[in-house]
A and B are shown apart, each in its own frame.
Chain A
Amino acid sequence: MAAITLIEGVTLALARALEEDPGVIVLGEDVGVNGGVFRATAGLQQRFGEQRVLDTPLAEVMIAGMSVGMAAQGLKPVAEAQFCGFTMPMVDHLMCHAGRMRNRTRGRLSCPMVLRFPTGGGIHAPEHHSESPEALFAHMPGIRVVMPSSPGRAYGLLLAAIRDPDPVVFMEPKRIYRWQKEEVEDNGEELPLDVCFTLRDGSDITLVTWGAMIKETLQAADQLESEGVSVELIDVATLSPLDMETILESVSRTGRCVIIQEAPRHCGVAGEIAAGLADAGIWNLLAPVKRVCGYDTVMPLYRNELNYMPSVRRIVDAAHQVLEVS
């Protein structure tokens, strides 16, 4: 068993899926010979051939639309969009077809495709390469949205996404692609979709986040723990559908919650979680629910990107505000 990074967890899961299911087809721009611009598909075309790992023409609408067609006809396309900014032309096919294929044909056809792409900022990337558009996809009925935050969850959740009978948008937090190494056994075991992962048990406050913000949230949790605060930390992992049960159960014990997302605040997943707490957890809350988010602005170019993304200090300050309410 080897210690691997998050992106290596992605590669390992793709290889496993290609091996176990001849219907799995990896496709996208530069995924073949080049092995992907982040190397997520490195070596896969050499190993599985050009029929299984396809370099496509430069055409995102084509990638998304053909994935819908392939999926509806018995294949398991695992498409890559090179960056989050380039998924926007794909929205048509996800919203108007992938998410409703099963429903509109009353189950006659389905759309078991995966669209995976790197998301988020913090790597000094050019314009349109650093956004966090998860809420856009989470707003689409019929689409699952998954974001791993560790090598093991990248492996297990991607396998589950590929095996899932419905369309999954699998967003990869590129800022932590190579942040941590973890021992991951390539045993083909998937992790469950549609559930949160509780990374740390605590009793004073619940911090809820996902993707790359796990990094700053863990650091904030460490700081709070050093002040004597007992922190429960939840990685949401599947952003749609939401596992509110785990979050509600945690908040029923802590009574306090801060939700952290890198994406803009307005109409974000954090707002959806806060609404879930207002709806079914309000009698257990001891303080207002706070959100720490990216601002409702265009993601700035790299010189200002760290001023956009939630900092450890912003998270700790929000936690203090919530903890001070008696």
Chain B
Amino acid sequence: MARTVAAFKVDYFQFLNPDGQLIEGQQLPALARDFERLVTMYRQMVRTRVFDKKAIALQRTGKLGTYASCLGHEASHVAIGSAMRPEDCFAPMYREYGVQFCRGVTLTDVLLYWGGDERGSDYAHAPHDFAWSVPIATQCLHAAGAALAYKLRNEPRVAVSVVGDGGSSKGDFLEAINAGSAWKLPLVLVIVNNQWAISVPRSRQNTAATLAQKGIAGGLPSIQVDGNDLIACLWAMEKAIEAARKGHGSFVVEMLTYRISDHTTADDARRYRPNEEVEEAWAKEPVARLRSYLMDQGAWDEGQEQALLAECTAEVQQAADEYLDIVTNDPQPVTTMFDFMFAELPHDLAEQRAQAEHYQDTGGQH
């Protein structure tokens, strides 16, 4: 007769319901009552959302290239960024601005990148973080490699990477789990499951009940949380990062959220998903949820809300002005195409560099 040699479960955590009320009857983390901290993170969430709206407006008016919106991901992203220490390392995909703003990446950096200017990936204030990774899930292995570097050097640092529900179908993600397990790496892999990989819904990636269980298959502790509940996201990230920093190995956190926007500004989601689904998602979105909780608790009021919106709008406008000023008045010379290829410019590239300078601005003029 068969005997069970292994058994698994995936725990789901939610502390704040969609109406912004604490779900009692469970042990609540202390941070649920740490209003000073929650307000700080709420402010970061609003800042991220106001930025996102401006970036889309810039794209729609021809001032920015294709842009990937983070609308609806604010709780998951700000929780990840807030739980990390500056010396930790983040390996993003391409829409985690909320994480990156916590880590010192500037609003102008993000605009420069999507505005077709490489200087956007030169983060002055997040010097060891990786730049955006457009090839899906490749960043997970870079984070695993970073984690191995810290482990080999005995540094108490943690590498964190984010992947989507679509990206969880890729080998790179599964290989990162495996590496984290094999070497007990200080690595936290976050699946920000926003239900859509461009036009392909979560249900078409696979029929597994959760994506977190892919971590369990590789031997890692793995949990699922409500990705629109800032408290649950932050609690999970702190738990995972603490374990990784203490040398207990890697961790997988699946955050259930929703991509309210199109995949990018080049996409039109109305072609493949019903509007009712998006309306339902708005009812569960993270910013209003946390605001409602904070207001109920007397930790936030309408006056503060209006002041914050005005402050964020001004900051975002300033970043947009700065971005437009840089690309208009200080564009990258064509020679910068060559100057960062190698530590020292090889001789054949030096010849091409001179040629490129000679022919500067002759392309596209017919």
Contact = CB atoms under 8 A, between A and B. Distances in A.
Contact of B198 (A29, A304, A309): A29
B266 A37 contact: yes
B68 to A, nearest CB: 8
Interface string A56-72: 11111110000000000
Most buried by B among A34, A85, A302, A308: A34
Given A57-B169, A304-B337, A314 B359 contact: yes
B69 to A, nearest CB: 13
A29 B197 contact: yes
A80 interface: no
A30 interface: yes
Contact of B134 (A29, A128, A265, A313): A128
A311 B334 CA distance: 14
Contacts of B167: 58
A62 B331 contact: no
A127 B136 CA distance: 12
B198 A30 contact: yes
B239 interface: no
Given A35-B271, A58-B166, A308-B337, A313 B116 contact: no
Nearest to A223: B366
Contacts of A48: none
Contacts of B264: 126
Nearest to B132: A127
A266 B116 CA distance: 25
B141 to A, nearest CB: 12
Interface stretch (A201-209, A231-239, A290-298): A290-298
Given A85-B134, A296-B348, A300-B118, A59 B198 contact: no
A34 B272 contact: yes
B311 to A, nearest CB: 30
A124 B66 CA distance: 8
Contacts of B348: 266, 296
Nearest to B170: A59
A315 B283 CA distance: 57
A88 interface: yes
B349 interface: yes
A297 B169 contact: no
Nearest to A317: B359
B325 interface: no
Given A30-B198, A295-B352, A302-B116, A57 B65 contact: no
A267 to B, nearest CB: 12
A224 interface: no
B206 interface: yes
A176 to B, nearest CB: 13
A88 B135 CA distance: 9
A285 interface: no
Given A33-B199, A58-B205, A303 B115 contact: yes
A34 to B, nearest CB: 3
B200 A124 contact: no
B332 A219 contact: no
B206 A125 contact: no
B352 A59 contact: no
Contacts of A128: 134-135
Given A308-B337, A311-B362, A126 B197 contact: no
Nearest to A293: B352
Interface residues of A, number: 49
How would you classify the secondary structure of chain A's contact residues: helix, strand, loop or mixed? loop
B362 A314 contact: yes
A303 B204 contact: no
Contacts of A307: 334, 337, 356, 359-361, 363
Contact of B66 (A86, A125, A265, A304): A125
Contacts of A172: none
Interface string B180-208: 00000000000000000111100011100
Given A85-B134, A127-B132, A303-B332, A59 B169 contact: yes
A126 B136 contact: no
Interface in B18-62: none
A66 to B, nearest CB: 13
A58 B362 contact: no
A55 interface: yes
A30 B273 CA distance: 13
B6 interface: no
A32 B199 CA distance: 9
Contact of B171 (A61, A129, A305, A309): A61
A203 B94 CA distance: 52
A301 interface: yes
Contacts of A308: 337, 356, 363
Contacts of A286: none
Contacts of B364: 122, 306, 311
Contact of A58 (B136, B266, B272, B361): B136
A312 interface: yes
19 contacts: A34-B198, A37-B198, A57-B166, A58-B205, A61-B170, A86-B136, A89-B170, A125-B65, A126-B134, A129-B134, A295-B337, A298-B337, A303-B115, A303-B117, A303-B332, A304-B116, A306-B363, A307-B363, A310-B363
Given A297-B337, A300-B337, 7 more contacts: A29-B198, A37-B198, A59-B171, A298-B337, A298-B341, A304-B332, A307-B334
Interface of B: 65-66, 94, 113-118, 132, 134-136, 164, 166-167, 169-171, 197-200, 204-206, 264, 266-267, 271-272, 327, 331-332, 334, 336-338, 341, 348-349, 352, 355-356, 359-366
Give 4 closest A-B pairs by Cβ, nearest first: A306-B363, A58-B166, A34-B199, A302-B116
